[in-house]
Amino acid sequence: MKAANTLVAALLASDPHEAGGERVIFVSGDDADAKSEVIALFDDAGFSVIDLGDLIPGGAMQQVRGPLSGVNLIRLPEAN
């Protein structure tokens, strides 16, 4: 399981609600039950969770120098 590896600790510790949206957290893993529990924890904390799939491909995207490393994304609510 890999989760919340793309952001620095200060961002993770700050309020996940920013600019009217929710800070995005990425997760990946091979155990669907464990991943569901982690996703629920981050949802309850106010983050917007994106499941990157299995550990090897999803984890690689979160690694240092990976395409998502250090990227601070905010998911804005959909317009009605």
Phi-psi category of residue 11: left, alpha or beta, with phi > 0 → left and psi -120 to 50 → alpha:
alpha
Give the global pTM. Answer: 0.89
Q: State which H helix or E strand residue 60 sits in.
A: helix 55-62
- Residue-wise pLDDT tens for the chain (80 aa)? 999 889 999 988 999 998 899 999 999 999 999 999 999 999 999 999 999 999 999 999 999 999 999 999 999 998 77
